Amino acid sequence: MELETPEAGQKFETDVIIVGAGPVGLFAVFELGLLDMKAHLVDILDRPGGQCTELYPEKPIYDIPAWPVITGQDLTNRLLEQITPFAPTFHLGQMAEQLEKLEDGRWRLTTDRGTVLEAPVVVIAAGGGSFVPKRPVLTNLEAYEGRSVFYAVQRMDQFRDKTVLIAGGGDSALDWALNLSPIARRVVLVHRRDDFRAAPDSVAKMRALVDAGEMDLHIGALKELRGADGQLSSVLFQAKGEDPLEISCDAMLAFYGLTMKLGPVADWGLNVDQNLIPVDTEKFETSTPRIFAIGDINWYPGKLKLILSGFHEAALMAQQAFRYVYPDKRLRFQYTTSSSDLQEKLGVADGS
Amino acid sequence: MIIYVTDRDGTEHELEAVEGWRVMEIIREHGLPVKAECGGCCLCATCHVYVDPAWVDRLPPMRDEENVQLDEAVGLEDNSRLSCQLIMSEELDGLRVTLAPGTEV
């Protein structure tokens, strides 16, 4: 499916804003679409699928109805295929940051990249929250973050002629070590063990650079950041059973994977209890009318964090969302098997 | 069977353990905060614990999968393990672990 992903920073009006493009957010597009509601999805990740594609794309899932086994990536692909007729708009790589109520009762959601979405209904399908980089455990880390310690590369040029210490052993660490190697003064790769789970090709390239003396590789642990006013001057490193080593560097890039944090949703004035949003079990609406929460992020008595529960919640949510989006229309319950109206929406009007 | 778990605030809890359960599941079942965001698939390292030194050598050795995933654990120490990979058995009766940074909910 070719995703519709407009450039960030624009303003859109739609029927429903869905925060989170994981499996439940994607299926919500389907249920809303059957009821003639258009959706825009916002996700901090740069591709749809949420945890399914970020944490376990290759891991088989066995409890999706009618799929005896399916991987996280395949499930996402199938959902994208299923919602194609409803042409949702994706705002990827953006954090849903601010939510405010407009005078006419609708909501305005603003992302960290300046995209503005307005709609009568908001559906929070954010799972465990936003995926954010894991932060190493180092004293005074905060003082350096964003100044000389980073978790992503925004502009490569920032590291030109600098000594860059890169921590981690996965694809991000290796990719950036290789990419920055030609422009940085020196790249120093630090990993806990002399084995890398990054793509074998990247590992081979890295080893070749190290063998040629063009990159440094240290196996061990980071112990301490040294510098002043947020500017790193060196990092204290220790290999197992050896004396600490002071490694001079101008910047550090740390790649320890991602973890989920509730993030700005906590500040939207909703009831939040232990990072979960309580909802009713009829409409899956939060304590704030017109804001729904479905999937892993919600809580109600008996809640199970299963993808299939989220699908059910999406279907019931859509019924109430319809009443907000089309207050003057009557909601007609129909089956996709028998309704020519629904089949037309799905693009299968001839029963094909 | 019991295990002792020290939470992120430093309080030790004595938890009744169930044979065959993952240590992570026992911690979660008792309502102690542990992120464990992948649910026990050995894919996230957010159930990372420090094992009491007296217990380190008494645990079954790590499988490769666990060692690889520890790459993504923060605050790694020599006694780091993923509690989703520790399966409760008679031999682990009395196990002492401490929840590591990054496991906060």
| B35/A259 touch (CB, cutoff 8 Å), yes or no | yes
Q: Residue range B16-39: average pLDDT?
A: 96
Chain B contact for A261, CB < 8 A? no
How far apart are alpha carbons B102 and B105 in whole angstroms?
8
Determine what percent of chain A is predicted with pLDDT higher than 90: 95
Collect all residues of chain A within an 8 Å Cβ-Cβ radius of residue B47. Answer: none
Residue A1 has pLDDT above 80, yes or no: no
Chain B contact for A136, CB < 8 A? yes
Amino acid B75: pLDDT: 95
Amino acid A2: pLDDT: 84
Collect all residues of chain A within an 8 Å Cβ-Cβ radius of residue B70. Answer: 192
What digits encode the pLDDT tens for the residues A162-173? 999 999 999 999
What digits encode the pLDDT tens for the residues B54-94? 999 999 999 999 999 999 999 999 999 999 999 999 999 99
> What are the tokens at B27?
């911690």
Chain B contact for A259, CB < 8 A? yes
Sheet with B48-51, side-by-side order of all strands: B12-16, B2-6, B96-99, B48-51, B80-82
> What are the tokens at A90?
């994706």
> What are the tokens at B93?
């009766």
Q: Residue range B2-28: average pLDDT?
A: 97
| A257/B44 touch (CB, cutoff 8 Å), yes or no | yes
Q: Is the CATH code 3.30.930.10 the one for domain A136-256? A: no
| A128/B37 touch (CB, cutoff 8 Å), yes or no | yes
The CATH T-level fold of domain B2-96 is Ubiquitin-like (UB roll) (3.10.20)
| B105/A275 touch (CB, cutoff 8 Å), yes or no | yes
What digits encode the pLDDT tens for the residues A262-314? 999 999 999 999 899 999 999 999 999 999 999 999 999 999 999 999 999 99
| CA nearest to B33 within chain A | A274
Contact between residue A275 and residue B105 where contact means Cβ atoms under 8 Å apart: yes
| Residue-range domain boundaries for chain A | 11-132+259-345, 136-256
Residue A350 has pLDDT above 80, yes or no: no
Q: How many CB pairs under 8 A join A and B?
A: 54
ipTM of the complex, rounded to two decimals: 0.92
Chain B contact for A71, CB < 8 A? no
Report the gap between the CA of A170 and the closest CA in chain B (Å). 8
Chain B contact for A55, CB < 8 A? yes
Amino acid A351: pLDDT: 53
| B38/A197 touch (CB, cutoff 8 Å), yes or no | no
How far apart are alpha carbons A34 and A36 in whole angstroms?
6
How far apart are alpha carbons A179 and A188 in whole angstroms?
13
Q: Residue range A187-204: average pLDDT?
A: 97
What digits encode the pLDDT tens for the residues B28-48? 999 999 999 999 999 999 999
Chain B contact for A257, CB < 8 A? yes
| Residue-range domain boundaries for chain B | 2-96
Collect all residues of chain A within an 8 Å Cβ-Cβ radius of residue B44. Answer: 55, 257, 259
A240, A255, A259, A260: best to mutate for the B interface, most B CBs within 10 A: A259
Chain A contact for B45, CB < 8 A? yes
- Which residues lie across from B80 on neighbouring strands? B50
Chain B contact for A63, CB < 8 A? no
- Three-state SS for chain A is CCCECCCCCCEEECCEEEECCCHHHHHHHHHHHHCCCCEEEEECCCCCCCHHHHCCCCCEECCECCECCEEHHHHHHHHHHHHHHHCCEEEECCCEEEEEECCCCCEEEEECCCCEEEECEEEECCCCCEEEECCCCCCCHHHHECCCEECCCCCHHHHCCCEEEEECCCHHHHHHHHHHCCCCCEEEEEECCCCCCCCHHHHHHHHHHHHCCCCEEEECEEEEEEEECCEEEEEEEECCCCCCEEEECCEEEECCCEEEECHHHHHCCCCCECCEEECCCCCCECCCCCEEECHHHEECCCCCCCHHHHHHHHHHHHHHHHHHHCCCCCCCCCCCCCCHHHHHHCCCCCCC
| CA nearest to B39 within chain A | A305
- Among B41, B70, B72, the residue with its CB nearest the CB of A134 is B72
How far apart are alpha carbons A103 and A122 in whole angstroms?
16
| CA nearest to A51 within chain B | B38
Amino acid A154: pLDDT: 87
Q: Residue range A148-156: average pLDDT?
A: 94
Domain at A11-132+259-345: CATH code: 3.50.50.60
What digits encode the pLDDT tens for the residues A211-243? 999 999 999 999 999 999 999 999 999 999 999
| B37/A134 touch (CB, cutoff 8 Å), yes or no | no
